[in-house]
Structure 1
């Protein structure tokens, strides 16, 4: 185990520099802004998002209060920034209330949509309405099934190749097994099916159409030519064709030692392609995020795939041994080798899982109160049970009393459920959208303690509260306290507040926070003796 210690330390160091991201794009600003009353129309409609949007299946439409569609030019992505969607007016409009309906596909491949109400000229007041309605519904069931199938087939292929390369010594015995050949080809067929079907499924999600239009040439071309998914899908198809040839020649030529290694590398490259889609596409440090996502998928596939090989392949291979004692020796030698490797897989799973969690779950509140956080807790719980079963099998392998029984099937079944939960996690909005109420405390150079509380800490109405104390006692001689709040993702949107003292050393004010993401909160207090108290906080505002 000591030889793995360097790996644990190296991977754990990566956790010191995580990058946070929403997972779905959110509206940062717009022109017109939500509920804005305009005397003159801007030259064009523009909406800025928190991340780059894909140049496919985006739209901007304007409707009057009566539902009549207003003619505007087609939406385009701004030349200034890939985060901005814009469209020019075709003419003037009458006074009244209007609604901008927008739809985009964010960089992580998830479509979102919403409305922005505004008023032009003199008209009755606007009803309050959120500026963004992110499509955070439960993921498409077909998408979850296909992704689960893909994960299972990844596990089956990597597991059986790992079985061949690291656990067995006689390659000819491996290739001679009919069960092994069937296992390999069924796994490949499932993987190919899931990847092929992901294209028309992506059309239905991004274009918002049914399966009857999923194979429409224009839609397929737009997905392939104008989305990140399309580029990755084409690469995956080419890799699949190469994998078919390598597996075929590997089974036909059992003496060739390089083909099993090449097969494993090709399957690993498909996993890397998978890591480039989903939530990792939206993080600032994408290279590290993709690496950790790949390691997480690979280690889980090797662990679960190894169990599949032990259940399906090992008994048949053991029975091919001529002497009963050789059967027992062969069986338990494989089990013991796999147990040692499983320890490494668990380490990789834990480290990469912690990194991903830090990226997408900002607070304890969001862990327990969001769909993403609850699914993550379920995955962690199942993983712990699976680790306990793995430890039980490791101890039994040392005793070599009797063959592994139903408990291995239980461990394998838990792994399948974990892959299903993982498929759900890749399709729901991350917990960054709902970090929950926040409370932070800083100590200044003058030994003053400044505590900031923001509730509910999301776009819209919020209660801002500041407590000032020194050595545990409230500071009484505060002449005034002001707060300057600036979103870090946009130069616009600065908010200044004059705080009201509620109790000694306790100040509060209500404010509307206009956009999600990182904000810098600067607190400036002035005492009666003209001494300053200054503190800066970086907080994360949710969008729901």
Structure 2
């Protein structure tokens, strides 16, 4: 009679904790589902944006800040009446992957022409935009450019969720298998542990298939009805990201074989187990060879799965890709072994009757090694992707990276507490999760009565095991600290997912530098990063104002302003004002209400821009009562 209150009281706090973890998961999913920022910026066009050429060109040429992937309809040129005048499909000019060109039909007349373009950055993220040029003289145009919501809309939201689930499934699959194979082989026989590994595999399989179907709508900005367009799926498979997703599905088939052999071997060992002196040398050698085969095969599959991300995303572009890709694979594997193993340990502590202290210590040592690898590889990737201290605080990528580092520090702190509780564990020989067999005295000639007695016996046996397990205060404290680790780890994984879909700080700065070059066009249809030097003429009057406007489109925008001294250190000034003016339409100046957010930092959450065009950004900085200067910078709002 006393067992039931004990079990009920134990389940209530556990349920509350699991609800907290679920709430953190939902919050992370919503954060990770935001559309990805543009990674390739249009920096130059021929003819130039807004230019007037005396005669019709033979082709249109676009140059980007990095390599892009093109499709046949990546470039559309519309005459003043809205009729398409391009000839053939888009292609790279002279094989240069950072260009896109398309030929124009002969006999193109005078007037204003609209160029609508879309492409996929080399790190898989789609970009799009539109611009105009005129032949002979500008004219009115009725060309209606269709909305190209590439990377956004419902397809973008679902694609972001799918990427999060894929990362989570990878961590569960790899981490739980390493935990069971290396730290706690006895746990393979438990149903809860097998379900965890299979759940990770299923999450990866479903999310990867969904990503492959969503790739077309995500890249082309079409509705979700395009998910089942076989032509779009075939076109997606022919690209680098599509091929990576297809390879992931094939590797998951191999992972399914690995899981079946791993679980089957565990069942065979349990069925054929006997006293050590009765086991033949042949069976021991066979088990050793099987373990080696499983280790080599599992490692190959895990490395292949990690490579499907590294070969198609941030690590494959930018500086030092030959070094970045293998280090990124190592980073992903370390993340999976640590976070997935953490989930496996949490499952064992809550669902299994008991886990040996030695198994927990073994995982603790492995987790420490993974954290060291994560710090080393993550530090290199941060240097490679951020590029400068200014970009670390002035770009969305840098701010997310700071948040990730802070969250990882919290997880490491919780892990330290868990390590202390591990040393207090009572090393008891606890029975397995399955109940003991029904004694002969509990049997009955009536099958229904016998089944009832069996259920009662199983419930009592489970209650006795849990009571004995929960009597260890070290085990209770360990469960709580590991639960805290897992809850924060869920958010870390969400931030990592958003990071992989955010434009790196180095790319933002390079795009800004390229846009400032002679003959360049301002970045449109995506975030704008502008570095504005100023000199008020007085003491400490020199510095740099870094402005980040996102998404730099009509409607609601967010603006971040960072002021630094010549050495790059954030500094406060007595007064700073900012306004935007669209001179071509006599709009403005529109003042921007800035809020002080920290040393040298100001933000404006809602900057309303009524229409697209070439806006002039005016920045006034006052460093003393009499020293003041106003600087201007043109930015394109798409």
Q: TM-score, normalised by structure 1?
A: 0.69
> Aligned partners of 2:632, 2:81: CA distance in 1, in Å?
32
Structure 2 residue aligned with 1:182: 195
Say if 2:411 is the partner of 1:380. Answer: no
Pair 1:433 & 2:433 matched: no
| Structure having the higher Rg | 2
Match of 1:244 in 2: 256
Pairwise CA distance, 1:193: 0.9
Rounded Cα–Cα distance in structure 1 between residues aligned with 2:497 and 2:248: 18
For residue 257 of structure 1, the aligned residue among 288, 291, 313 is: 291
Q: Which residue of 2 aligns with 1:34?
A: 49
Correspondence for 1:312: 347
Q: Is the 8 A contact 1:247 1:263 kept in 2?
A: no
Do the aligned partners of residues 180 and 77 (structure 1) sit closer, same or farther apart at CA in structure 2, a change above 3 Å counting?
Answer: same
In structure 2, what is the Cα distance between the partners aligned to 1:134 and 1:279? 22
CA displacement at 1:151 relative to structure 2 = 1.6
Counterparts of 1:2-13 in structure 2, within 5 Å, are none
1:402-442 CA-to-partner distances (Å, cap 9, x unmatched) read 111322111101111111111112222223325653779xx
Shift of 1:385: 0.8
SS in 1 for 2:127: strand
After the TM superposition, which residues 142-291 of structure 1 pair with which residues of structure 2 at under 5 Å, given as runs? 142-168=158-184, 171=185, 173-225=186-238, 227-254=239-266, 255=287, 256-261=290-295, 262-291=297-326
1:482-528 Cα distance to aligned partner (Å, 9 max, x none): xxxxxxxxxxxxxxxxxxxxxxxxxx99898999xxxxxxxxxxxxx
SS in 2 for 1:35: coil
Shift of 1:387: 1.0
Question: 2:468 maps to which residue?
Answer: none
Displacement of 1:304 = 1.1
Change (3 A) 1:365 1:414: same
Cα distance change on mapping 1:62 and 1:26 into 2, 3 Å = same
Shift in Å, 1:94: 3.0
The size of the alignment, in residue pairs, is 423
Unaligned runs of 5+ in 2: 1-36, 142-147, 267-286, 426-472, 510-528, 535-540, 553-565, 567-628
Shift of 1:315: 5.6
For 1:419, the equivalent position in structure 2 comes to 493
TM-score using structure 2 length: 0.60
Q: Are 1:72 and 1:88, in contact at CA under 8 Å, matched by a contact in 2?
A: yes
Q: Is the 8 A contact 2:212 2:245 kept in 1?
A: yes
1:24 counterpart SS class: coil
Q: How far did residue 49 of structure 1 move?
A: 1.9
> What residue in structure 2 maps to residue 19 of structure 1?
none
Contact 2:533–2:544, Cα closer than 8 Å, also in 1? yes
Provide closer, same or farther for how the CA distance between residues 457 and 413 of structure 1 changes in structure 2, counting only shifts above 3 A: closer
Cα pair distance change 1:123/1:52, threshold 3 Å: closer
- Of 408, 422, 432 in structure 2, the residue corresponding to residue 397 of structure 1 is 422
When residues 75 and 26 of structure 1 are mapped into structure 2, their CA distance, relative to the original with a 3 A threshold, is same
Offset at residue 115 of structure 1 (A): 1.9
- For residues 332 and 180 of structure 1, do their structure 2 counterparts lie closer, same or farther at Cα, with a shift above 3 Å needed? same
Moved more, 278-287 or 387-396: 278-287
Name structure 1 gaps, 5 residues minimum: 1-21, 127-132, 320-329, 441-450, 461-466, 468-507, 516-542
In 1, are the aligned partners of 2:86 and 2:103 still within 8 Å (CA)? no
- The separation in 2 between residues aligned to 1:152 and 1:454, in whole angstroms, is 41
CA distance in 2, matches of 1:314, 1:182: 15
Are the equivalent residues in 2 in contact too, given 1:26–1:134 (CA < 8 A)?
A: no
- Please show how residues 97-176 of structure 1 align to structure 2 within 5 Å: 97-123=112-138, 140-168=156-184, 171=185, 173-176=186-189
**Equivalents in 1 of 2:508, 2:392: separation in Å?**
11
